[in-house]
């Protein structure tokens, strides 16, 4: 198993936008602890913003659902031992330990597992075979994200219902932007 460390949360938005609005998909970037491969997870705005807040060690005015869930675990005498990402987009297992030391698996979305593990200060792991398949060398990250975005836009255009116009801003009007405060960012877009 390879340990992953959350590094950043990014979003692709219009260059003139000040902040990504609701519904803008975030990308949670996790780096292998002793290597340079990056795993990126698609995340909704709440999930991605939750990770960004935790990376920056910022607390919202009111607890997020992840904070409430972790408090519930504590009240039930459960602690988070680790999160294991089973793939990059659909399932992860959060391992809980009860007062007797017995472990219990809890399946959930990868972004939920990352949010809970971060708050519990528990490690996040992925199988080597999975990281080998979906991990991106750090120096190739931006090109890989651009290619994936173009493929996704083409898929939406090609599968739009008849009489529906699908349009996207020109790529040169968009940029990748971190939503983590500057002092905590690992990555900056190049070019």
Q: Where do the structural domains in the chain lie, given as residue ranges?
A: 2-184
Dihedral sign, Cα of residue 145, residue 146, residue 149, residue 150 = negative
The mean pLDDT of 106-113, rounded to a whole number, is 96
Whole-angstrom CA distances from 184 to 25, 120, 178 are 20, 19, 10
Give the CATH class of 2-184: alpha beta
Q: Is this model's pTM higher than 0.95 or not?
A: no
Query: In whole angstroms, what separates CA 83 from the centre of its chain?
Result: 13
The pLDDT tens digits for 63-106 are: 899 999 999 999 999 999 999 999 877 899 999 999 999 999 99
């Amino acid at each position: 198993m390879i340990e992953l460390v959350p590094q950043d949360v990014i979003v692709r938005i219009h260059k003139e936008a000040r902040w990504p609005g609701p519904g803008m998909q975030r990308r949670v970037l996790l780096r292998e602890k002793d290597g340079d491969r990056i795993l990126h997870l698609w995340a909704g705005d709440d999930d991605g913003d939750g990770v960004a807040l935790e990376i920056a060690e910022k607390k919202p005015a009111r607890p997020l659902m992840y904070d409430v869930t972790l408090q519930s675990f504590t009240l039930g005498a459960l602690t988070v031992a680790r999160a294991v990402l089973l793939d990059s987009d659909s399932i992860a297992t959060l391992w809980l330990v009860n007062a007797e030391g017995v472990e219990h698996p809890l399946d959930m979305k990868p972004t939920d597992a990352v949010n809970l593990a971060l708050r519990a200060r528990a490690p996040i792991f992925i199988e080597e075979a999975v990281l080998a398949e979906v991990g991106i060398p750090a120096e190739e990250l931006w090109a890989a994200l651009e290619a994936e975005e173009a493929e996704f836009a083409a898929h939406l255009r090609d599968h739009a219902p008849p009489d529906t116009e699908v349009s996207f801003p020109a790529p040169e009007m968009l940029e990748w932007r971190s939503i983590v405060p500057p002092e905590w960012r690992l990555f900056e877009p190049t070019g």
